[in-house]
Homo-oligomer: A and B are copies of this chain.
Amino acid sequence: MLRLSPPGFERLFQSPVLSATFGGGEANVAISLAHFGLHSCYVTRLPAHAIGEGAMRTLRGEGVDTSYVVRGGDRVGIYFAETGASQRASTVVYDRAHSAISEMAADAVDWSAVMSGAAWFHVTGITPALGDNAAAATCAAIRAAKAAGARVSVDLNFRKKLWSESRAQRTMKPLMRDVDVVIANEEDLQSVLGIAVAGADVTGGALDASGYRAAAERVTRVLWDASSRTLHQSQRYVVRLVDRIGGGDSFAAGFIYASLDGRPPDAALRFAVAASALKQTIYGDFNRVTVAEVEALAHGDVSGRVQR
């Protein structure tokens, strides 16, 4: 998607200028993985015009393999994002109906070719929410990934403006069978998988870790095997936010990288949380950090001295 944001902490159209970058769940994960040094391939559909070309240039520049991107359709989805400050929340206005990807036929991509040799496939719950075509494509992609021996992760990311809970559950529950790792917050679990999280009071700011764990045990094999308790005991960072958007995607990318690197779940979690914290100090959707930078934070260097 094309992301349009006013400068700094301004509200939309306070000045006649927008920062124009590209982003979106799976793209953010792909780019983060490329920055971590992995071969990362992103599949989507983009129009042949200058806006689609701009998205291609960004993906390629950040090191992502774009050879399976399908060219076609009329528009790139857009979202207008205001960066909040302090008590003022960040806000997003979506304008993504009729985007090229939402209208892509499920068989427009040769999924078995894409997945051949892949170690991991990641998708978010936003993609199947875009429409029947996109849901069918998601389904085909997961199946092909599984067949190719790749591990599969899904970030549930429930978006109530895109679909209802019942439609989400009807679509997503059957997919879970082939999914190895589920990333979710307490709202996602409830809305997309129908799993209640005891003690969740989101607007209050405090989450009851125990309730979360109970829910987590039911859906994430990986985390359970590694003792889900580590989820809630991972390090915590008080981040002075520069840009909140993409924090979840950075977590996913961190977790995928560390898992592929053979680290145990608690170490993967620590890496993922540090990656996510760093992302939130960087403007834009992308987590422009190296493995070394994430490691430094995960291992506790908080002196803040200038790195010369």
Contact = CB atoms under 8 A, between A and B. Distances in A.
Q: What is the predominant secondary structure among interface residues of chain A facing chain B? A: loop
Interface string A76-112: 0010101011111111111101100000000000000
A21 interface: yes
A10 B20 CA distance: 14
A17 B17 contact: yes
A283 B51 contact: no
Nearest to A160: B308
A218 interface: no
A89 B307 contact: yes
A283 B87 contact: no
B75 A95 contact: yes
Given A9-B281, A300-B203, A293 B88 contact: yes
Nearest to A244: B306
A281 B87 CA distance: 8
A225 interface: no
A13 B307 contact: no
A17 B2 CA distance: 12
Given A58-B61, A75-B95, A303 B87 contact: no
Contacts of A10: 282-283
A25 interface: no
A17 B18 contact: yes
A93 B50 contact: yes
B90 A307 contact: yes
A71 interface: no
Nearest to A52: B93
Q: For the side of the interface on A, what is the size category?
A: 35 or more
Interface in A244-294: 244-245, 274, 277-278, 280-284, 288-289, 293
A93 B52 CA distance: 11
Given A98-B97, A278-B87, A283-B9, A305 B202 contact: yes
A161 interface: yes
B283 A91 contact: no
B240 A281 contact: no
A304 B17 contact: no
A226 to B, nearest CB: 24
B282 A11 contact: yes
Nearest to A157: B308
Nearest to A92: B308
A20 B16 contact: yes
Contacts of A308: 91-92, 94, 159, 161
11 contacts: A10-B283, A14-B284, A16-B16, A16-B20, A17-B19, A60-B63, A78-B78, A86-B242, A87-B297, A88-B281, A204-B303
